[in-house]
Structure 1
Amino acid sequence: MLSVFNAAELFSLILTLATLITGIVFALDKFVWQPKRKEQPQQSRSGWVDQARSLFPVLFAILIIRSFIIEPFQIPSGSMQPTLLPGDFIGVEKFAYGLRDPIFHKTLIPTGKPQRGDITVFIDPSNPKIDLIKRIVGLPGDTVIYQNKTLYIKPACNGQKVCPVAQEVPKRYVGLTNFTEQGVRLDEYNEQLGTVNHHILRDPALPEQLYRYYQQPGSPMGEWVVPKGHYFAMGDNRDNSLDSRYWGFMPEQNLVGKATFIWISFTFNHNPNSMWPHWLPDGVRFHRIGRIH
C-alpha cells in the first residue's frame, strides 16, 4: 500500500495519522480521563498522555500549514534553469489551485486554475513516486507546437466567432550564459509566455530530439492538443528537461501547488577530491531569496 505514495505523500500520510492519533488522545484526556481524575485525585496523568497532548497542537498546526497554505520543495535538477537552480528551496502555495486533502489530492474547495506561465509542482504522471516542477505552457483545449526549438501556441477556441491561430511565442536572444551542458555554454532567451516574462535556455550543440517526443494519436510529431482537465508543462532549460514533450499531459488532479518564492538557496561542493561532504551545503546564495520571476 505504501509503495503507491511518493515521499511527499508518505510524509503527509504519516503526519495526518500522527495528528489524528494525538488528537484522539487529547480529546479523550480532556473530556473523559480528566473528569475522572478530578473524582479520584490520587490518579495522575500518564507520561505518554502528556506527550501526546503537547504534540497535538504542534502537529495540527504543521498539518494545516503544509496541507493548505505552503509546502517547502527543493529544486532537484537544472531543468528549470535559469529561473530556478539546484539548491533553491522554494515555497509552494498549496491553495492556489484549490484546497485539497493532504493524501489523495481530491479538491475540497476550488480556488483557481493554473494560468499560462505559472510554475507548478505536480506529481510526475510517468512516475507517481516523485514530484516535478515545470512551467505551464498549454491550457486545456490549446494546441501546442514545438518545432525547430521554437514554441507555438494556438489557444483554445471557446465559442469565438473567429478562432485563434497558432502563433510563435515571442522571444528575444540575450546571449551566451555561464550555464553549460557537456562543456557547451547555453544560449539564453527572454520569452513572453502570455502575461509572464521569463528567461529560457537552449543548447546550441544539441539537435532537436523529435524521435523521443510523445506522439498524440491523430497529431503530427511535435504537435499536441491539450485534453480537458490536463495541462502541457515544460522546463525553462528547454533542451535539458524531461517534460510534456516526452511523457504527455499533466492531469489536473496531479497538481500540488504553485511555486511562488525562494526562501533559501544553497550551493553544494561536488568536487570529488574535496574533503567536504557533497550532501552538505558549502554556501548560501542570499541574492536569490525572494519571489520567483
Structure 2
Amino acid sequence: MSVTKTKADAKPATKKKSPAREWFDSILFAVVAATLIRWLFMEAFTIPTPSMENSLLVGDFLFVSKLHYGTRTTSTPLQVPLTHQKIWGTNIPSYSDAIRLPMYRLPGFTHVKNGDVVVFNVPPKYLNDNIDYPVDLKTNYIKRCIGIPGDVIEIRRQDVYVNGKLFPRPPQAEHEYFVKTSQVMDEAFFRRYNIVNDFRDPSNPTYNWQPLEEYNDSTKSSVQVGYRINTTEQVANQFKSFDWVKSVEPIMDKPGEQAPGIYGSPVYNWNRDNFGPLTIPKEGATVQLNEKTIVLYGPVIEKYEGNENVEVTPTSVKIDGKPITSYTFKQDYYFMMGDNRHNSLDSRFWGFVPADHIVGKAVFVWMSIDPNPDGFFNKIRWSRLFRIID
C-alpha cells in the first residue's frame, strides 16, 4: 500500500519558542506599544512642585493629551525608549546627538486657548541644568496659558487683563496673605484648610504658612503677631469670619516697584503683581527694535527663532553681522502662569513659550498621593481621582 504525502504533511513542524524568547518578544511588544502611545496619543506626568496649587497638587498624577494640539515629531531619533534626558536612576544621557532632525507638528483638533492647562518644555537653559537639550527633551513644566499669540497681557494689583479685559482667576488660584491673630494656630489647624508645609527637600522647602513676629520696643523682645499664609481667596474669606482673627490682608508688590529677576528688567519697573502691558509675539507679526523692545524680544530672536550668528546688546540686534531695526517672527508664542501666583516660576520671570515647545493639554488626574499625609490611611487623596482638569 502506498502513502502519498500532501504538501501540508511535508511541511516541517514550527519550532517552539523558548520561554526566554517569549518573554523577550512580550517585553519588546510592550515597549514599542508604550512608546507609540506616549508619543502619539497620551503621556503620564506627575506634579512635583506647588506652582499650580490648589488647582493641581504636589503628588497628582495626570494624563496629558498629545492629540489636542498635535503630536510633535522627535528631533532625536537615537534615544532610549520611555526616557527623558537621562537613563533611569543615572546621570547618563538617554539620547545621542549623532542624528538631529527638524521637528514638525502633526495636525491637532484644537489650538492652545486662554485658560488651558498646558504641559510644555521650559525654554531657558538655566532651567534645564544649564544643558542645551534638544527642544523635545527640555524639562517639562505645567502652567496655565494666560496669553496666546498677538494678545496684550497686563497684571494690575494681581488681577490679569488680556486685551484690556479682566481674565477670570482660576477658582483655586492661590496668593499670599497676612493673617493678624490673637491666638496661636498649629499645623493641624492649617491642614484642615489644605495649607501644608513641605520639607521633603530641606534645601528648598515650601512654606505655605509661617508665623510672623514683631519687635516690641517696650519689652525688648519679639512678639508673634500673625501668619503669612499661601491660600485661595475663598479660604482667606473664611478666616475673616473667625473672632480671633483681627484682619486678613493680601501681600502685594506695589505698582511701579521694580523686582529683581522679572522679565523686562531693568528697563521696565515690573513685578510679579504688576506687569506689562506686554504684546505676545505672533507668527508673521513685525516689531520695531529699540531699547524698549530689545529687552523683551531680543532673547526670542536670539534663542528660539532658528537664527544663526545673532548678537544682542541693550541697544542693537545683529544677524550675520548686519544690524536690523525690525523683526518679523517665524512662529507663535504663549504666556504661561502658575495658579499659585506667589510661588510659581513662570513667564513673568523668563518670558515666552515658543509654539514648538508645547507638549500637550492636561486632561485629567488619575491618581493623587499626598506627600505629607496626616496618617497612613490618608496617603491617597480619593476625592481627586479621575478629576477633570479645568
TM category, shorter: 0.5 to 0.7
Residue of 193, 207, 213 corresponding to 2:262: 213
Change (3 A) 1:172 1:77: closer
* SS of match in other structure, 2:250: coil
Contact 2:334 2:355 in 1 (8 A): yes
Give distance in 2, aligned partners of 1:255 and 1:268: 28
Residue of structure 1 in register with 2:363 after alignment? 260
Q: Which amino acid aligns with 1:251?
A: P
Larger radius of gyration: 2
Alpha-carbon offset, residue 167 of structure 1: 2.3
Q: Residues 210 and 150 of structure 1: is their aligned pair in 2 closer, same or farther, counting only changes over 3 Å?
A: farther
SS at match of 1:89: strand
Which amino acid letter does the alignment assign opposite residue 232 of structure 2? E
Q: Deviations over 1:218-273 (max 9, x none)?
A: 877421211121100000011111100000001111111111101000012389xx
> 2:171 and 2:17 mapped to 1: Cα distance?
70
- For 1:287, the aligned partner's letter is S
Matched residue, 2:230: 186
> Which segments of 5 or more consecutive residues in structure 1 lack a partner in the other structure?
1-37, 155-165, 191-202
Does residue 142 of structure 2 align to residue 130 of structure 1? no
Task: Output the amino acid matched with 1:288.
Answer: R
1:140 and 1:77 mapped to 2: Cα distance?
A: 27
TM-score, structure 1 as length reference: 0.65
The total of aligned residue pairs comes to 226
1:67-120 CA distance string (max 9 Å, x none): 111111110111101100001111111111102225556313343311110001
1-structure distance, mates of 2:148, 2:50: 24
Counterpart position of 2:165: 167
SS at match of 1:284: coil
Give the Cα–Cα distance (whole angstroms) in 2 for the partners of residues 246 and 143 of structure 1. Answer: 17
Distance change in 2, residues 1:148/1:42 (3 Å): closer
Q: Is the 8 A contact 2:373 2:379 kept in 1?
A: no
Deviations 1:160-200 (A, max 9, x none): xxxxxx1232459999864363422235248xxxxxxxxxx
Residues 100 and 182 (structure 1), Cα distance of their counterparts in 2 relative to 1, 3 Å cut: same
How far does residue 147 in structure 1 lie from its aligned partner after superposition?
A: 2.9
Determine the structure 2 residue equivalent to 1:231: 334
Identity of aligned residues (%): 31
Q: Identify if the C-alpha distance between structure 1 residues 170 and 132 changes in structure 2 by more than 3 Å, giving closer, same or farther.
A: closer
Unaligned segments of structure 2, at least 5 residues:
1-9, 77-102, 129-137, 178-192, 196-206, 211-227, 235-248, 283-331
